[in-house]
Structure 1
Amino acid sequence: MKISLPYGNEMVGMEVPDQCFIGMIDPPEAQPAGDPERVILDAIEHPIGGPKLEDIVTPDKRIAVIVDDGSRPTPISAILPVLLDQLIRCGARREQIKIVIALGSHRYMTEDEMRERVGEEIYQTYPVVNSEFRDPEKLVYIGDTEEGAPLMATGSVMDADLRIGVGNLVPHPVMGWGGGGRRFPGVAGEDTVSYFHPKASLYDENMFGLSTTPIRDMMEGWVKLIGLDFIINTILTPELKLCRVVAGDYVAAHREGVRIGKQVLGSKVTEKADVVIVSSHPADQDFWQSPKAMYGAEPALKGDRGGTMIMISPNYEGIGPHPEYPEYMARDDGDAIVRACIAGEAIPGDRLAIAVGNSMSKMRRRRKLVVVGDGVTEEQMSACGCKYYPLSALQQAIDDAVAEYEGCRVAAMSGGAEAFLYDEGESI
């Protein structure tokens, strides 16, 4: 059976023995919005679980519009013109509005990248700034964690009177789904961002695609400290075209968006596989982002342990912004290190790399992980505990994996990083 999967902006072909191939586990075709501007406006005018913009916007209020960075496919340049026009219509003054790029702990966006992200006209009209996560002079204390660690957030967000979060709803390995109150970690200090991931890394289950998780519940409690007055969340088709939009309260609108997202992105698993071949699309930026495809693909494998995942990814920027990450992905003692970090002990190293590495370490111990692509090296993947093949050896990677299982069953996925898999008979 000849199949093809995305590799960045290209398609790459491969063959799977006919007797082994279960099929493609991809969501059914979703219809993109016929009039995206109308769909965005309709969601803004009919918020879920919260007040309308006209009820919370006044001329004297300083407004921060918080948007995600270029690692996400959210159509920011399509949403902002509609949103900003509505803010002005409701009485907001242009000079009181700024746009903040929520980086989390990702690298700072360049001016050209920010201009492309928001659109040229908006970039020229409104201040557009990166959030801050490292410079203590630009962070503001907002409270403490349950262990007494300080919570810090970007000053350019905290000095606003009204905060509006814009993001996209896709499955997430820590929060279950993105969107909603997740704009808070996006504008928090690096140590605060790091707090979520260590907590999550102590759980053994794959939380990708859960409607909510213990970490999301904790995060939504923290959002009350900083205030998130309105959200706009998109649901895109697998081809990244705008499909649906929800807006309103960061909890109520989010949950409705998740319900819709499961229907749009959901794929039914009719038979479990020994080997699943998965493209990282659209999380192709680096090995910090692309393993989301492994979380998305894992439910397609048999049992709680065993089986092989072959991830195809260009990883354009290599390992990504946390070079210590491979070391901790390869370790088996991560829980002890993470608990020490949470307890405030002086543990050397990048705490976010420790936490995410610990989560991936657990997946590495559950499943055999194979990475195919030219953006990372065999040495780097070996350091992570993954088997590696260059793109030119993709077919060899598949043949080797199939040979390991008697009566091998193989499935494939076109976009694992944004997949929601559910079993036969499971209600979504």
Structure 2
Amino acid sequence: KQVRVGTMPSGAPIEVTKELSKVDFSIGIGCVTPHHVSGFSGGSKIVLPGVSGERTVGEMHMLSARLRRSFLGIEENEIRDLMDLVAEKAGLRGLIDLVVDGIGRPTWIGAGGVREVFKEAVKESRRIYEVESPGNLDVVIASSYPADIEFWQAHKSLYPADMVLRDGGTLILATPCPEGVARTHPEVIELAGLPPEEIDKRARSGLVKDLIGAANSMVWSKIRSRIRVVIVSEGIREDEAKSMGFEWYGELQEAIDKELRRFDKPRIGIMKNAPELLPKVQV
């Protein structure tokens, strides 16, 4: 059950779980890692999208998709501002955030004011996840581990690769996806292959009800308009990948052999654990 606590700048309602309206003091608990929608997870993200209503969450994702392909690693941005606004309206007064390393061991924990704790957590998150990387690569070969149960998680690999590839470059993404594309957002299989403007038009007109799915589809469409995305997966069918505008191979070696033929002396990058990486591109 949701309760309305305000209005977004866009005019959409700010709705959060009714339980927040019953308490005198609320403290959020979260983990801070690089994130493509809001720059970093954690902080006020525990409220939006954490305990917000479907419409509120959907509008936030659509705003992010309209503004950029990705906010990965950008600490100050419009989406974080919106999250802070919603958290304040919802009555979030304190925060406990932590940062963990690649195998889940805590490296930092802080408590205090929402913005102050988040700012310090971002510093530690950069120390753990930021890696120096060359830019303008021709090809990136990436593994979606550990976000690989379905493409709804594996797509997090697209954003760090997008940061280091040149226009017209190729991402070869190896991802098992045993649960397929997106069990809870099946519309993305048809939406993602459309131009981003068409997806946005359908969302604004109400033809698409799943705004979160529409937002991700818009972002994937924007990315594949700049780079070639090749999916290597046993869990995603060829027709599903191509419906989303991606190329598909069943075997990684076949994908590498055929895709590298498109380049003369390609500059290649390898990304292990791609969903967890924050590239610091060398200029």
Q: What band does the TM-score fall into relative to the shorter chain?
A: over 0.9
1:226–1:310: structure 2 CA closer, same or farther, 3 Å change rule? Answer: same
- Specify the alignment match of 1:335 in structure 2: 197
1:378 to 225, 238, 260: 238
- Supply the distance in 1 between the matched residues of 2:87 and 2:144 (Cα, whole angstroms): 30
2:218 to 323, 347, 358: 358
Correspondence 1:216 to 2:80: yes
Q: What is the identity, as a one-letter code, of the residue corresponding to 1:242?
A: P
Correspondence 1:152 to 2:10: no
- Supply the distance in 1 between the matched residues of 2:45 and 2:273 (Cα, whole angstroms): 22
Q: What is the identity, as a one-letter code, of the residue corresponding to 2:56?
A: T
Task: Report the alpha carbon displacement of residue 229 of structure 1 after superposing the two structures with TM.
Answer: 2.1
- Specify the alignment match of 1:169 in structure 2: 32
> Which runs of structure 2 are paired with 1:84-233 in the superposition (5 Å)?
138-184=1-47, 185-233=49-97
1:248–1:314: structure 2 CA closer, same or farther, 3 Å change rule? Answer: farther
Task: Report the alpha carbon displacement of residue 300 of structure 1 after superposing the two structures with TM.
Answer: 2.0
Task: Report the alpha carbon displacement of residue 341 of structure 1 after superposing the two structures with TM.
Answer: 4.1
Q: Identity of aligned pairs, percent? A: 30
- Specify the alignment match of 1:412 in structure 2: 270
- Supply the distance in 1 between the matched residues of 2:121 and 2:30 (Cα, whole angstroms): 11
- Specify the alignment match of 1:274 in structure 2: 138
Asked if 2 retains the 8 angstrom alpha-carbon contact of 1:329 and 1:358, the reply is: yes
Structure 2 unpaired stretches of 5+: none
Q: What is the identity, as a one-letter code, of the residue corresponding to 2:176?
A: P
Task: Report the alpha carbon displacement of residue 351 of structure 1 after superposing the two structures with TM.
Answer: 1.9
Task: Report the alpha carbon displacement of residue 369 of structure 1 after superposing the two structures with TM.
Answer: 0.5
- Supply the distance in 2 between the matched residues of 1:285 and 1:157 (Cα, whole angstroms): 32
2:103 to 239, 252, 264: 239
1:262–1:189: structure 2 CA closer, same or farther, 3 Å change rule? Answer: same
- Supply the distance in 1 between the matched residues of 2:122 and 2:192 (Cα, whole angstroms): 30
Task: Report the alpha carbon displacement of residue 417 of structure 1 after superposing the two structures with TM.
Answer: 0.8
Deviation per residue, 1:111-160 (Å, 9 max, x gap): xxxxxxxxxxxxxxxxxxxxxxxxxxx11111222232222111233323
SS at match of 1:164: strand
1:243–1:309: structure 2 CA closer, same or farther, 3 Å change rule? Answer: same
Asked if 2 retains the 8 angstrom alpha-carbon contact of 1:269 and 1:422, the reply is: yes
1:161–1:203: structure 2 CA closer, same or farther, 3 Å change rule? Answer: same
- Supply the distance in 2 between the matched residues of 1:229 and 1:285 (Cα, whole angstroms): 35
- Specify the alignment match of 1:118 in structure 2: none
Q: What is the identity, as a one-letter code, of the residue corresponding to 1:395?
A: Q
SS at match of 2:75: coil
1:285–1:164: structure 2 CA closer, same or farther, 3 Å change rule? Answer: farther
Asked if 2 retains the 8 angstrom alpha-carbon contact of 1:177 and 1:212, the reply is: no
Asked if 2 retains the 8 angstrom alpha-carbon contact of 1:268 and 1:422, the reply is: yes
Correspondence 1:323 to 2:186: yes
Correspondence 1:349 to 2:209: yes
Task: Report the alpha carbon displacement of residue 205 of structure 1 after superposing the two structures with TM.
Answer: 4.4
Asked if 1 retains the 8 angstrom alpha-carbon contact of 2:132 and 2:282, the reply is: yes
1:186–1:402: structure 2 CA closer, same or farther, 3 Å change rule? Answer: same
Asked if 2 retains the 8 angstrom alpha-carbon contact of 1:202 and 1:335, the reply is: no
SS at match of 1:288: helix
Task: Report the alpha carbon displacement of residue 194 of structure 1 after superposing the two structures with TM.
Answer: 0.2
How many residues align structurally? Answer: 281
Structure 1 unpaired stretches of 5+: 1-137
Correspondence 1:264 to 2:135: no
Task: Report the alpha carbon displacement of residue 352 of structure 1 after superposing the two structures with TM.
Answer: 1.7
- Supply the distance in 2 between the matched residues of 1:170 and 1:311 (Cα, whole angstroms): 21
